[in-house]
Amino acid sequence: MRNALLRAFVVICAFPNVPAHAVPSFARQTGLQCQSCHVGAFGPQLNNVGREFKLNGYVMSDGKDPIPIAGMLQASFTHTGADQPGGAARDFGPNDNPAIDQVSLFYAGRITEAVGAFVQVTYDGIAKQLAWDNLDIRYARKTELVGKPLIAGLTINNNPTVQDLWNSTPAWGFPFEASSLAPAPAASTIIDGGLSQVVRGGGGYALWNDLIYAEADVYKGLGRGIRNALGVVPVSGTNSVDGVIPYWRIALQHNFGDHYLELGSFGLSANIFPGGDQSTGRSDNLIDTALDATYLYSDDGPHTVTGYVTYIHERQTVDASSLLLGANAHDTLSTFRINGSYSYKNTYTVSAQRFQTSGTSDTALYGGGPDTTGWNLELAYVPSGKPGIALPYDFNARLSLQYTFYDRFDGARSRASDNNTLFLMLWLAR
């Protein structure tokens, strides 16, 4: 796997002018407007065409083969319900913080007729750090199985669910952007971002008869030296992975005229050294099992409706944390999210989400407790990515206003509103 990853990076970095066929480089490669693949004309919400493009390895092209390079910038303003003592982050004030959140460079497009890539390198303006970001390198082929069409492929990636086709899984789920200068709940399942960019792995996937999707992958944690080299610098107390992490995914999908529905499940099993401490000779075992659903309504008119449901249940056998921290021997943690959006002319999009995290009370792991509930509301305006406008077809701009408010935060109702967050973001890509 390491050699395959290295070869892919050599191709990407050393030969950017080879025929190469989301991000604006995908629009240039296909000749399509951004709304052809994205709900609201700007990702990451994928419609049916966007999912098909990703499934087939990012290789669809109009034959012109431009260099598949793109860039992105995110700038924001964050206001929280109460000041944060000591500042929201290093070099930021306790409240009302403007920021350049991210500046990213992408190689996103075709490498060969059957191989494509989505590779992102990001400068984090909050942490003031350059690091590798999302990675998904794919090989895909079309064939038949028992007389029905089959699309089969391989993926190499660095975050379980970053390769997924649906926005009901964590990597590309709502909210599509969130403030790094706002308080975050203490408890979350490990599949919900806990392995992002700190593992590498891959596996195979297949879609049969445009109906049944299945995938199996295996991941391994990155060593401290590799993480330092890639800019993912471990801080003191960072967890580390023990052994390999198996990941699985299965889904059913179908189009009913103007309506699309997906029902699926995914999960993994990970052994973790808490804080990277291996002195006990034991690790914590975390098993995540999730259910998800995606709904899309689109009649090629001005109206688009989407809906997503995600439920993740985590069983924790925390042998190491019990010895090191005095945690319970066994814990459970569950996350439920349901959200929907309405987009008018792929220009104005309103979204709402109800979220809830609950679990076993364990002071050693979660302090005040794991229970957090609340709402997230968002208004977004996208003037680009569709016909009939003066802006270039491969230019993306998104202005969003988001408000998050909490009924309960880290197990407490009192002062939960101190963590309420108003988040204004400008997102540009070219």
Q: What is the pLDDT of residues 152-202, one digit of tens each?
A: 999 999 999 999 999 999 999 999 999 999 999 999 999 999 999 999 999
User: Which of the four pLDDT bands, split at 50, 70 and 90, describes residue 97?
Assistant: very high
What are the residue ranges spanned by the domains of the chain? 74-97+129-429
pLDDT score of 235: 59
pLDDT in tens, 326-350: 999 999 999 999 999 999 999 999 9
Mean per-residue pLDDT for 117-121? 96
pLDDT in tens, 191-234: 999 999 999 999 999 999 999 999 999 999 998 888 888 988 76
pLDDT at 260 over 90: yes
Instruction: From residue 71, give the alpha-carbon distance in Å to each of 14, 20, 75, 82, 106.
Output: 18, 16, 14, 34, 6
Instruction: Give the closest residue to 266 by CA, choosing from 305, 306, 294.
Output: 294
Mean per-residue pLDDT for 383-389? 84
pLDDT at 9 over 60: no
Helices (H), 280-417: 319-325, 363-366
The more confident residue out of 359 and 66 is: 359
pLDDT in tens, 15-45: 333 222 358 899 889 988 888 999 998 879 9
Query: Bridge partners of 381?
Result: 348, 399
* Residue 297 near residue 304 (C-beta atoms within 8 A): yes
pLDDT score of 115: 97
pLDDT at 11 over 50: no
Query: Bridge partners of 108?
Result: 118
CATH number listed for the domain at residues 74-97+129-429: 2.40.160
pLDDT score of 22: 55
- Tell me which residue has tokens 């709900």: 39
User: Which of the four pLDDT bands, split at 50, 70 and 90, describes residue 50?
Assistant: very high
pLDDT at 391 over 80: no
* Residue 303 near residue 344 (C-beta atoms within 8 A): yes
Instruction: Give the closest residue to 234 by CA, choosing from 226, 224, 242, 243.
Output: 224
Torsion of Cα atoms, 108 then 111 then 116 then 119, to 10°: -40
In whole angstroms, what separates CA 418 from the centre of its chain? 27
